[in-house]
Structure 1
């Protein structure tokens, strides 16, 4: 039997580490997949289904563009893939969160595969992708609005995943030398850009700014106009014009109680972005993971042909874009409505911040390495062990430390919260209440006034917006009644 020397322990842990990490990731992600079985439509899901029923597929696109929004991509997604508008929607609605979670995992894998190529094993890529997914879900501003509400998913997180694929496409375009392949990657970038910009303005404006800055930088570096990037920037500008100048946007803005000027909106956007960054970094999870990944990042930085290194050649620019684009993302809402962006839009900004944070960290490590300022042993072994133990503790305990602000669960541990809603029975009670409500409404005669029970203690991980118990004429109640073909639906609180 071999002696238990420190070197033997280290080798044993190194061999078993991936399996331990995989088991931990499965346990941490499991409740998010389990909660999908208890998800139900909310608010706009019924509104959009009613609109599609009234106008038809093509007519609905025109109606929304002229009367409500310029988000042409999102509207198309609502129309084609909103299960509430079609038969069997109760089962299909539960499958869509599963689809999104798997799509996010595959997107992260594709992104890492495109940036790292064969320098990292397939197993390590899948583990890294699952880790990114967990980091996303761990402190996502609202899982209810981002994962378990189909309208929010189509408007924000799903298009954001396509934006990450655009990053990979641009990296492949930059590293490809063969002209035919280069044209194919450029065409793919154009198509994805048009789709992403049409999803929502919080995503469109930062993308346009990022492409413009990158094109200007390349022109300055090469002393000539880069045709491919210039074409892509022009396409993005045209797509933004089509989206932003939609008549429906101005009709919607006219109904808002207040608007801010450009200067005030910019100041408020900067303050909101700073508030979010402090909260996202304040619990130390991202900082600890960054320190643990620093040795691997330093090794990858020594591979000049790696697409990741070609993408992160200018650390100062990446850091400026990371924080500047957050401000740009907050700006449209303050300017148009005088209000900060809702949690569902903040979900998307957190996704970009998460990916951008690790990109800019690698960019700075690469810079320090090339300047000769990077230490040979950046982390002692005991520090890595302590950081790993602390991360494990952070993921199995609940916390709600935050700055002052209106968010009920800012910086909360969503993994523990999801387990509590799942195993504590809150999700099952939520499912039972809504299932009983549907049966009651479907059994009631058409064009009658129905009284249903308001939700009692809905799970925070799942429930977004339900019927109003105070105002039967609330728009949510009206759209609910229209969908189930009732004259009016009233919600009352049961003892």
Structure 2
């Protein structure tokens, strides 16, 4: 055992990277079995049959103000009859998540080697993937991915560029750098309301911090705040928002929304912090933070936050992600917005650890870990990534060939509808997916031909026959 531990310590980042890549590979593998469903079909139809500006105008006036994601959803690969590209999109998103984390860590500090930053990037990507509340709608469904997860990826790039600006490490020059940040801010704000509200909130916090501490960055944060307000107003004042909200009765109940959002915020946060991999990574972060705090002013000054303020911010960002759903619809409904909450929680969690560790720096809580403790902690983290939460669902789906059965049924459905004889007037029957893979499955058609899920197929394939599940 001691020899094994010695090998681990000698090649720790190489071995860790190999293990993390192996754990991520099933997430990539299962992407090849994903299929378009629900909103994918209706938005792809709009993308195929109407002009881009015509669709964007209609959505803005009649559905929502998401000017950026409304563009991306109509550019669904199946609008161009490319199911292959549709299946490649989740793979691309996972890879870009890793690369975005790498860029993010690179912007924070130059103290770590490339191999170390790459390992950190894989760890944080898996921290997100293995525990995101609803992975099927977050990664393996195009409409959900470009509306929500794309914002997470772009947020990392936005934060990385902001860190670089604060350290005067500009891309080409200062003005181009600021323009890139504002363009990213524009896109992110137009993807979904929860990331829009959180960005507005966090930029405002940055503005207050810069003024209170008389930082030279205050003009930069004033500029960001002005643009954030403008972009948020474009989303908020869209006429389509009121049309969409009118479909839900008993909404806009302030007290009920506050109470329910608070309960859900506490529930999710306590669920997330009980994650074994997060606890293990948090222990190791004690040493990483020491390095950051020695080299980087922002970390040395604990982001200019007091512990009480940083903890309040942690709860606030999750609350901001949950409140809009209760306010607009009186239910939490789908948890795609909670995926965003968890992503923001991860970032804010480690900011909190920096604040707390720095505050208690004079009283070391964690002595140097023994090699055996490091080895078994990393081993436990890797096992937890692989066989708990989304990792467990993933290997269960693969072990029982659920993804293959799902792919066969969905492929058969698409082939039948693509080659459908429109002279045939009878009802079209499809078998319900009997044992759907949890990692991929979202919703399916019902025995009601008027269900919006069923109608999606009618619209996309231009078929008038009733489509029902048997």
Q: How many residues align?
A: 467
Matching of residue 461 in structure 1 with residue 452 in structure 2: no
Closer, same or farther: CA 453–13 of 1 in aligned 2, 3 Å: closer
Cα deviation code 1:111-142 (max 9, x no counterpart) = 111112x2100011111111111111111111
**Native 8 Å contact 1:145 1:344 kept in 2:** yes
Q: Distance in 2 between matches of 1:439 and 1:467?
A: 16
Cα deviation code 1:293-326 (max 9, x no counterpart) = 3223223322245x65567342534332222111
**Shift in Å at residue 146 of structure 1?**
0.8
**Native 8 Å contact 1:29 1:415 kept in 2:** no
Q: Distance in 2 between matches of 1:59 and 1:379?
A: 61
**Native 8 Å contact 2:317 2:341 kept in 1:** no
**Shift in Å at residue 179 of structure 1?**
12
Q: Which runs of 5+ in 1 are unaligned?
A: 399-412
Q: Which aligned pairs between 1:464-479 and structure 2 lie closer than 5 A?
A: 464-468=442-446, 470-479=447-456
Give the alignment's TM-score, normalised by structure 2.
0.93
Closer, same or farther: CA 492–485 of 1 in aligned 2, 3 Å: same
Aligned with residue 336 of structure 1, among 305, 320, 328: 328
Give 3-state SS (helix, strand or coil) of 1:312's partner. Answer: helix
**Shift in Å at residue 465 of structure 1?**
1.4
Counterpart position of 1:428: 404
Cα deviation code 1:15-60 (max 9, x no counterpart) = 1322321222122111100001101001000011222344321100
**Native 8 Å contact 1:292 1:387 kept in 2:** no
Q: Distance in 2 between matches of 1:42 and 1:149?
A: 8
Give 3-state SS (helix, strand or coil) of 1:451's partner. Answer: strand
Aligned with residue 92 of structure 2, among 85, 96, 99: 99
Matching of residue 67 in structure 1 with residue 62 in structure 2: yes
Closer, same or farther: CA 450–165 of 1 in aligned 2, 3 Å: same
Give 3-state SS (helix, strand or coil) of 1:491's partner. Answer: strand
Q: Distance in 1 between matches of 2:417 and 2:171?
A: 60
Closer, same or farther: CA 312–219 of 1 in aligned 2, 3 Å: closer
Matching of residue 388 in structure 1 with residue 378 in structure 2: yes
Q: Distance in 2 between matches of 1:436 and 1:223?
A: 61
**Native 8 Å contact 1:171 1:311 kept in 2:** no
Q: Which runs of 5+ in 2 are unaligned?
A: none
Counterpart position of 2:312: 320
**Native 8 Å contact 2:155 2:188 kept in 1:** yes
Closer, same or farther: CA 308–85 of 1 in aligned 2, 3 Å: farther
**Native 8 Å contact 1:330 1:341 kept in 2:** no
Give 3-state SS (helix, strand or coil) of 2:438's partner. Answer: coil
Output the aligned Cα RMSD. 2.4
Closer, same or farther: CA 236–343 of 1 in aligned 2, 3 Å: same
**Native 8 Å contact 2:166 2:217 kept in 1:** no
Closer, same or farther: CA 175–425 of 1 in aligned 2, 3 Å: same
Closer, same or farther: CA 322–443 of 1 in aligned 2, 3 Å: same
Counterpart position of 1:27: 22
**Native 8 Å contact 2:60 2:239 kept in 1:** yes
**Shift in Å at residue 446 of structure 1?**
2.4
**Native 8 Å contact 2:321 2:340 kept in 1:** no
Q: Distance in 2 between matches of 1:16 and 1:106?
A: 22
Q: Distance in 1 between matches of 2:231 and 2:5?
A: 54
**Shift in Å at residue 417 of structure 1?**
1.7
Aligned with residue 484 of structure 1, among 442, 445, 461: 461
Give the alignment's TM-score, normalised by structure 1.
0.88
Closer, same or farther: CA 304–201 of 1 in aligned 2, 3 Å: closer
Closer, same or farther: CA 298–258 of 1 in aligned 2, 3 Å: same
Q: Which aligned pairs between 1:353-372 and structure 2 lie closer than 5 A?
A: 353-369=345-361, 372=362
Q: Distance in 2 between matches of 1:428 and 1:136?
A: 25
Q: Distance in 1 between matches of 2:126 and 2:171?
A: 38
Give 3-state SS (helix, strand or coil) of 1:257's partner. Answer: coil
Q: Distance in 2 between matches of 1:281 and 1:130?
A: 19
Aligned with residue 420 of structure 2, among 438, 444, 447: 444
**Native 8 Å contact 2:17 2:118 kept in 1:** no
**Shift in Å at residue 261 of structure 1?**
2.7
**Shift in Å at residue 180 of structure 1?**
8.4
Matching of residue 86 in structure 1 with residue 87 in structure 2: no
**Shift in Å at residue 67 of structure 1?**
0.4
Aligned with residue 392 of structure 2, among 401, 416, 424: 416
Aligned with residue 209 of structure 1, among 177, 201, 225: 201
